[in-house]
Amino acid sequence: MLRIFDHALEIWNPGRLHPGLSIRDLKRTHESLPRNKLIATAFFYVGLIERFGQGTMKIVRLCREAGIPGPEFEERGTSFVVRFRKAETKKTPQVAPTVAPTVTPTVGKLLKAAVKEKSREELQAIVELVDKMHFIEKYLQPALQTGLIEYTIPDKPNSRLQRYRTTAAGRKVIENRRRFGPGIKGMG
């Protein structure tokens, strides 16, 4: 079974490690203890296995070379799990709206639409996005966080009467897009 999360990927396999083999052994040279020697030998002869007992160490090496954390091995219930985590990204400090990311045509449309106060539903319809969560996560929240758009009722962000309006920084982006074209970076 394969499980995909925002922060990790897990591969689940029924069965536990072979008796005599521990999780600590998997990250160092260890003897190969295949459950089915005939299948393991066949895989070796067709080139799917390079050397017996080296697969987990190769995975560890490839993760290190790719700059991601090494795999995490775990026995969970009657299954064996290998977990790969995303590489740690350096936290970038919050930047002032004067160094906002590239303003896409959709963001430009959103900013223009919000010059006059509008509800989330109205803004979403204007930028022609159907999926509510996608609109909120990819457009509305980033615009709020970077100061391009603001709440009309800031102390009640979830109010049914909530509207959104373009800020002075957002209006500056609109003006810069008008003057320099849609692909501008930043607002300065």
Structural domains of the chain in order of their starting residue, each with its CATH number = 2-85 (3.30.565.60), 97-180 (1.10.10.10)
pTM across the whole model? 0.43
Place of tokens 């203890």: 33
Using CA atoms, how far apart are residues 66 and 17, in angstroms rounded to an integer? Answer: 26
Q: What is the DSSP letter of 122?
A: H
Give, in degrees to the nearest 5, the angle at Cα 99 between 98 and 102.
Answer: 115
Predicted local distance difference test score (pLDDT) of residue 102: 54
**Does position 185 have pLDDT exceeding 80, yes or no?**
no
For residue range 69-122, what is the model confidence (pLDDT) as tens digits? 889 999 998 999 999 998 876 554 444 444 344 567 788 888 999 899 999 999
For residue range 19-67, what is the model confidence (pLDDT) as tens digits? 888 888 888 877 777 778 888 888 878 877 766 667 888 888 888 888 8
